[in-house]
Amino acid sequence: MDTKIISVAAKTSKIPLESTGKLLFDRISTFENTAVAFFEVKSGVTCTYGNLAINSLNLATNLRNSLGIVKNDHLAIISENSHKIWVAALAGLYLAAPFHLLNPGFTTYELKKYLMMSEPKVVFCSKQVLLKLQVVRDECTFIEAVVLFDDEDDTSKDVIPYKDLIQEGCDGKCFEMEEVDDLDNQVAYIANSSGTTGLPKGVMVTHANLRLNMSHVIDRELYPFEDNSVVLHVIPFYHVHGCGVCYCGLYRGLKLLVMDQFEPKSYLHNIQEHKVSTLFIVPTLADFLANSPLLDTYDLSSVEQIYSAAAVLKTTTHQKVLKRFNIKSVRQIYGATEIGVAVFMTPTASFKPGSTGKITPGLSVKIVDPATGESLGCNQSGEICVKTATMKGYLNDPENTRTAFDADGFVRTGDVGYYDEEHHFYIVDRLKDLIKYKAFQVPPLEIEEILLRHPGVGDAAVVGKPDERYGELAVAFVVRVEGVEVEESEVVDFVAKYLSVEKRLHGGVRFVREIPRNGVGKILRKELRELL
Ligand code: ATP
Ligand code: MG
């Protein structure tokens, strides 16, 4: 065996080899019927574990008997965060009918494009999404029914009310779940990647991947909190991180307080009001928790655990959050839609600043030199490649599917990283984002970390600007802190004080009002590059 491959044994042996629908249903059924699974803070709507079980069974029954959905038919779910997404998702899992999770913020153009990708027979959507869906529905002839989550007075719209489909199935008694024999190949759902480096791709997540995920979320070393803990959940459910928090909730019997939009005061108020113990966040939310003076006016002492995922958590932000919440660690999770489960996680006992943690059970990782394809050893940076029960591939995209895996079945993450002697992993940057200055590869993240130390810099993003002589020059887009005067030369000199010559801002500074980011807070560097 290649000694440069680092693996941790899986802990899946106790989990039956069954469809995730069955596994999840059995699990949900073990919790108190009246225990709250989802509480939607804005509307006050509650969904108990009992509701979730019966509503999902009724919906699955009706999808099968009234709408003719059979194994491998596709569904689409497009809504702002709501428990109904999970009622529909569970029904899809019971029927082995993969559901495509789509961003409710999509324009009609994007909606059409991604619906055409998966060709769902039934689309579940919210009222806001319906308006856009009606525009493209005629062109999407594969759609046989639209199920509307919200109540609608106007009955002319040719939609089926969700509330009709969660009643009068057969109360679950005669429902037979679809068998899934080939867990590795049966697609459970389709999630779009974030589209940070190109167009979002439709990732086919398998039942085997969800089973591995289950072994993670019930592992108390990885998630050392009580079952039935109270968790505040504001990450979009359509994103792999938001979706992952939901299964963690359902497998562990958590009470998920759902917000469909981040609003600073309401976020803090909800922590205080509901004595939230666990937060799942993204780094932009960490920045808010680190810096906002609003935090001083709320009692946030109930918070014991914070998990951050989806993008790089800056070391300075990390330290500030630890201090403000007076907790031992903010645990990082590194992953990608293609891999579907946490790859690295900060261990409970041995937190190292700047590291995203150690490999989770059931995964193998190697660091590969992108130029030669060779596996590298300790403290050498290269592309992070991961092997486990990953995705089956990208939907309708054999070309990208082929290049996503290497010859040994490892997924190429496109991220550069390294590990130390104790196998703690560090993310350097994305391969595509490295700035090529002369013969050097400069990670924008390193420059951004420095920029944020400047008291006049509120936010920053660095990209490479093409240059005939040097290849690329680093340009910083900077948002000034309100009321603080800061000039370009000052920023350039500040970076030069800390970093060696190749990592300096040779392309200068542009002051902007805002750094463009997507729904989970990732910097949209391609938009910034277009500005140059
Ligand atoms: P696309 O693949 O469509 O260009 P994307 O890679 O941003 O977009 P996701 O699958 O949502 O889509 O995100 C995975 C990526 O997010 C990883 O490859 C990595 O770059 C980044 N990431 C996730 N978690 C972390 C983390 N803890 N630290 C640093 N980066 C992270
Ligand atoms: Mg990606």
CB 508 within 8 A of CB 488: yes
DSSP state of 199: S
Query: Which ligand lies nearest the alpha carbon of 203?
Result: 1
Look at residue 198 in the predicted model and tell me its pLDDT. Answer: 83
How far apart CA 317 and CA 449 sit, in angstroms, is 10
Look at residue 2 in the predicted model and tell me its pLDDT. Answer: 59
Domains 49-179 and 435-531 alike in fold: no
Question: Ligand 1 centre from 208 Cα, in Å?
Answer: 21
Question: Ligand 1 centre from 314 Cα, in Å?
Answer: 15
CB 172 within 8 A of CB 53: yes
Question: Ligand 1 centre from 416 Cα, in Å?
Answer: 11
Enumerate the β-bridge partners of residue 364.
7, 387
The CATH code belonging to domain 435-531 is 3.30.300.30
Q: Where are the alpha helices (DSSP H) in 66-175?
A: 83-94, 108-118, 127-136, 162-165
In order of 78, 196, 254, 347, 382, the CA distances from 222 in angstroms are 30, 28, 15, 7, 26
| Closest CA to ligand 1's atom 28 | 312
| Closest CA to ligand 1's atom 13 | 336
Q: Classify residue 41 by burial, with Cβ atoms within 10 Å: 0-12, 13-18, 19+.
A: buried
Measured from the Cα of 239, ligand 1's closest atom is 11
Ligand 1 neighbours, Cβ below 6 Å, are 193-198, 200-201, 240, 309-312, 332-337, 356, 413-415, 427, 430, 522
How far apart CA 494 and CA 483 sit, in angstroms, is 19
Q: Which residues of 236-250 are buried (b: 16+ CB within 10 A; e: fewer)?
A: bbbbbbbbbbbbbbb
Question: Ligand 1 centre from 351 Cα, in Å?
Answer: 21
DSSP state of 101: E
Query: Which ligand lies nearest the alpha carbon of 198?
Result: 1
Look at residue 316 in the predicted model and tell me its pLDDT. Answer: 87
Measured from the Cα of 414, ligand 1's closest atom is 18
How far apart CA 409 and CA 406 sit, in angstroms, is 5
User: What global pTM score does this model have?
Assistant: 0.94
Write phi, then psi, for 468 (nearest 5 degrees): -60, -40
Question: Ligand 1 centre from 414 Cα, in Å?
Answer: 9
Measured from the Cα of 197, ligand 1's closest atom is 4
| Closest CA to ligand 1's atom 3 | 195
Nearest to 382 by CA among 391, 393, 370, 373: 370
CB 219 within 8 A of CB 11: yes
Question: Ligand 1 centre from 430 Cα, in Å?
Answer: 9
Domain boundaries, the chain: 49-179, 435-531
Nearest to 361 by CA among 15, 7, 5, 10: 10
Measured from the Cα of 413, ligand 1's closest atom is 18
Look at residue 439 in the predicted model and tell me its pLDDT. Answer: 86
Q: Which token pair is 23? A: 């596994």
Grouped pLDDT means (10 residues each) for the chain, 532 residues: 84 94 96 97 96 96 96 98 98 98 95 97 97 96 97 80 86 81 97 90 97 96 92 96 95 96 97 97 94 96 95 90 92 96 92 93 97 95 96 96 96 97 96 93 94 94 95 97 94 96 96 93 92 91
Between the two ends of the chain, the Cα-to-Cα distance in Å is: 47
How far apart CA 304 and CA 325 sit, in angstroms, is 8
How far apart CA 160 and CA 409 sit, in angstroms, is 43
Query: ipTM score of the complex?
Result: 0.99
CB 317 within 8 A of CB 290: yes
Measured from the Cα of 200, ligand 1's closest atom is 3
Look at residue 473 in the predicted model and tell me its pLDDT. Answer: 97
The CATH code belonging to domain 49-179 is 3.40.50.980
Measured from the Cα of 430, ligand 1's closest atom is 20
Look at residue 172 in the predicted model and tell me its pLDDT. Answer: 52
Distance of CA 300 to the CA centre of its chain: 25
Question: Ligand 1 centre from 334 Cα, in Å?
Answer: 8
Question: Ligand 2 centre from 457 Cα, in Å?
Answer: 28
Q: Which amino acid is at 222?
A: L
**Torsion sign across C-alpha atoms 40, 45, 51, 56:** negative
Q: Convert 332-378 into a string of H (helix), E (strand) and C (coil).
A: EEECCCCCCCCCEECCCCCCCCCCCEEECCCEEEEEECCCCCCECCC
Q: Which token pair is 319? A: 């330290």
Q: What are the DSSP calls for 409-426, one per residue?
A: SPEEEEEEEEE-TT--EE
Name the residue of 114, 117, 194, 317 to mutate for ligand 1: max ligand atoms within 8 A of Cβ: 194
Look at residue 442 in the predicted model and tell me its pLDDT. Answer: 94
CB 397 within 8 A of CB 410: no
Q: What is the dihedral angle through the alpha carbons of 77, 79, 82, 83, rounded to the nearest 10 degrees?
A: -10
CB 256 within 8 A of CB 37: yes
Look at residue 327 in the predicted model and tell me its pLDDT. Answer: 92
